[in-house]
Structure 1
Amino acid sequence: MLDGSRITKKSEWACRRAEIKAQIEEYESGPKPAVSKDDVTGDFSGNKLTVGVNEGSKSVSFSIDINRPAGAPSAPIPLLISLYGFGSVTLDASVFSQNGVATALFNNNDMGAQGGGGTRGTGIFYDLYGKDHPASSMIAWAWGISRIIDALEKTPSANIDPRRIAVTGCSRDGKGALTAGAFDERIVLTIPQESGAGGSASWRVSQAAKDAGENVQTLSHAAGEQPWFRESFGSTFGNKVTTLPFDHHMVMGLVAPRALLVVDNRIDWLGIDSTFTAGSIAHAIWEGLGVPDRMAYSQLGGHEHCQFPAQQRAILEAYVKKFLVGGGTDDTNLLESDGAKADLSRWMTWTPPNLQ
């Protein structure tokens, strides 16, 4: 699945990374507009951060509440931003509060609606750029998170360290969390949970599983469900996923060499084998970069969608301590599945290079 052995140097990976990002924007996500920090404002009052963005004669604003854990120092501390348009935030909150991490809920639906195909072009992002802007709702969400970071960099009174930002979300919001982490290198820890099609699943592997009779979401279905992708994505690639010049192991790879923890469930629709396969191949990118401990994939079944089982708490806390708070020493190099199979002889016919 998309040969990665041609790359031999870290400098070549940087160039390839830029190419992959451009391909994703062109074919799947739509473009993420760049914004000058001079056009972003931040105001912090109480526990509310208000973000303002100017674009020509237009301007928009939105706010998030930042909750500091009890006993947190007044000095800048890390922040977890949770997308919650799906209606739930499910990671174990105690992992963050007990480790001195602030939390904020980001209503991504307000930034870019996901109420069916008819809501394309609706939300704060499109109020600024126009309802016909080709960016998908997930790019709109990622754009909003980037503006939060911009505002935090300009608002020291918030007492948040903008160099220690994590992002998470579950289900459709997990797709958005991965997109945010892939498209902003200031995010040091990305935690997509049960993100499925358009997230941690592989378009190619899911389609092959569907063709073999499995009940798994495919590109053609996901592209028509919500405006998560650019409008042309489904019509162009829905029936020919093998012509797509990238797959989602490469989307995950855009996070490298920063930290990525993929949390998955054993649910057919999400792609049990597809997500484990994509996660296993993505891990090879971190291996090639010499930092395999910065990427983990953990799949565990036996619980409802977007519930967080206690058995996954240890790997979550290990990632929070090592990559968000700093100073953690537990092993974070993990690839574990709940009976899922990664047929790498079929999908990964290349050997990860040792990048120099």
Structure 2
Amino acid sequence: MKYSIVLPLLATTVLAAPVLEQRQDACTVPTSFPNTANAKLPDPFTFFSGKKVATKADWECRQKEISAALQAQELGTLPPKPSTVTATFSGSSLSITASEGGKSVSFSVSIKKPSGTGPFPAIIAYGGASIPIPANVATITFDNGAVGQQTDRSSRGKGKFFDLYGSGHSAGALTAWAWGVDRIVDALELVDTGINPKKLGVTGCSRNGKGALAAAALVPRIALGLPQEGGSGGAACWRISDSEKAAGKNIQTASQIITENVWLGPAFNTFAANAKTLATDHHELAGLVSPRGLLVIENEIDWLGPVSTTACMKAARMIYKSAGVPDNMGFTGSGNHAHCSFPSNQQADLTAFINRFLLDGTASTAGIEKGPTADVSKYIDWTAPTLT
């Protein structure tokens, strides 16, 4: 049995070199995806056809396949760049208008820049930053809830994204926000704001942490993902969260999430009660960010699933290692602090990633893998190849 939906490739990907165009054309992205029960984390290195991923070019194709499956079964479709995107910048406000099919929507973000002369790197912060952003990095505050509402289940199909694409669009709020991030990058490329659009990070905490990971995965122009305390729906794997729940942990699971809010697309309702039938899991969502920078910041609160986030992100680091960039991803978990506060013992990890991926520094991001004891081998039945 297959779950089917027609999907475009990742939005806003521009491939200029002919050899890359040929490689993209060589990627056959299916429109139907497995839903056979599998309690283990799906193998990121096996195409749905059964073919093994052996090369880095194979992995680029497999990333497109994984993205398509995630959009079909969980996130909803990320539309391509609208027909028209315009932007204006005044003071600290960047105003963005997107038009498609005779409709237009507008939203604004605020930019707080360092003193001195740019262009500056920047971090797009959902709802405002809850991590400390260095003085030499700009902050772009994004009201993501205006683009895709997230009050409760009644928010389905509401917000600027749905005003443009229709209230019945397949996207959940996480995908709508990723679309908003994509349009922010468009605007930064169109207008001189003093921001370097090639040096952008994205962050958010809790529900917005789920969104920041999705945006880093779906928007290839993001240089550094900094999702914070997203737990299940973010850095946790659905299957591991379910196993932790079965073991008596007080942990958010897919079944709970769909009763709380509209972060995931409506298609996900089919899978939430039986997440092991998903074709993918969130180690692969994180793997979509590869080879770009990703630091997952977590908190050892039961509801967030510290064992699930740790084991899931260990599996994601295996993907990065196979791709030849093991130190482009790290995760840092810490306990004994309030939700969405930022403890000093995670500062060095954050500083290193910002230094390397946004500031062109040489800080080491090697081997950042911190969290509770979690044996990833319990949850996988595959090995990670060395890709040529």
5+ residue gaps in structure 2?
1-40, 46-51
- Equivalent of 2:94, from 49, 67, 88? 49
Q: Is the 8 A contact 2:182 2:219 kept in 1?
A: yes
Equivalence for 1:213: 248
What is residue 289 of structure 1 aligned with on the other side? 323
Match of 2:385 among 349, 353, 356: 353
Tell me which residue corresponds to 1:121: 157
| Amino acid paired to 2:73 | Y
Matches of 2:323 and 2:272, distance apart in 1: 33
Tell me the CA shift for residue 246 of structure 1: 0.4
Matching residue of 2:12: none
Helix, strand or coil for the counterpart of 1:187?
coil
Structure 2 CA distance, aligned partners of 1:4 and 1:231? 24
Matches within 5 A, 1:1-356: 1-5=41-45, 6-36=52-82, 39-69=84-114, 71-73=115-117, 75-84=118-127, 89-93=129-133, 96-97=134-135, 100-156=136-192, 158-234=193-269, 236-337=270-371, 340-356=372-388
Contact kept? 2:224, 2:293, Cα under 8 Å: yes
Return the alpha-carbon distance in structure 2 between the equivalents of residues 297 and 247 of structure 1. Answer: 17
1:91-149 deviations in whole A, cap 9, x for unaligned? 013xx21xx21101101110010111111111111111111111111111000110010
Amino acid at match of 2:195: I
Shift of 1:308: 0.2
Q: State how far apart, in whole Å, the 2-side matches of 1:342 and 1:8 are.
A: 28
Tell me, which stretches of 5 or more residues in structure 1 are unaligned? Answer: none
- Deviation, 1:231, is 1.3
Q: CA deviation at 1:152?
A: 0.7
Using the aligned pairs only, state the percent identity.
43
Deviations 1:232-289 (A, max 9, x none): 312x112221111100000000000000000000000010100000010000011001
Residue 332 of structure 1 deviates from its aligned partner by: 3.7
Q: Offset at 1:312? A: 0.7
Q: Secondary structure at the match of 2:297?
A: strand
Question: Are the equivalent residues in 2 in contact too, given 1:121–1:132 (CA < 8 A)?
Answer: yes
Aligned residues: 342
Deviation per CA, 1:138-174, whole angstroms, max 9, x where unpaired? 1110001100100110112x01111001000000000
Please tell me whether the aligned partners of residues 318 and 332 of structure 1 are also in contact (alpha carbons under 8 angstroms).
no
What is the Cα deviation at residue 350 of structure 1?
2.2
For the residues of structure 2 that align with 1:213 and 1:308, how far apart are their CA atoms?
28
Task: Tell me if the contact between 2:353 and 2:363 (Cα under 8 Å) persists in the aligned partners.
Answer: no
Q: Which amino acid aligns with 1:213?
A: G
**Secondary structure in structure 1 of the residue aligned to 2:266:** coil
Contact 2:353 2:365 in 1 (8 A): no
The 8 Å contact of residues 315 and 332 in structure 1, kept in 2 or not, is answered as: no
Q: CA deviation at 1:351?
A: 2.1
Q: Deviations over 1:205-247 (max 9, x none)?
A: 000111111111111111221110111312x112221111100
TM-score scaled by structure 2?
0.86
One-letter amino acid matched to 2:344: A
Amino acid at match of 1:208: S
Residue 223 of structure 2: SS of its match in structure 1?
Answer: strand
Asked if the contact 1:65/1:104 (under 8 Å) is kept, the reply is yes
1:153 is aligned with what amino acid?
A: E
Partners of 1:135 and 1:245 lie apart in 2 by: 18
For 1:237 and 1:212, locate their aligned partners in 2 and report how far apart those are by CA, in whole Å: 21
Q: 2:72, 2:267 within 8 Å by CA — same for their partners in 1? A: no
**Contact 2:330 2:365 (C-alpha < 8 Å) held by counterparts:** no
CA offsets, 1:55-91, max 9 Å, x none? 121111111111112x331x3111110001xxx6310
Q: Is the 8 A contact 1:319 1:332 kept in 2?
A: no
Counterparts of 1:248 and 1:351, CA distance in 2: 17
Give the deviation of 1:341 after TM superposition: 2.6
Q: State the Cα distance separating 1:322 from its structure 2 match.
A: 0.5
SS of the residue corresponding to residue 140 of structure 2 reads strand
CA distance in 1, matches of 2:84, 2:43: 40
Q: CA deviation at 1:25?
A: 0.7
Identify if the C-alpha distance between structure 1 residues 329 and 232 changes in structure 2 by more than 3 Å, giving closer, same or farther.
closer
Partner of 2:18: none
SS in 2 for 1:59: strand
Structure 1: 4+ residue segments shifted above 6 A: none
Which amino acid is 1:284 matched to?
A: M
> What CA distance in whole angstroms lies between the structure 1 residues aligned with 2:130 and 2:199?
21
**Cα distance in 2, alignment partners of residues 290 and 67 from structure 1:** 35
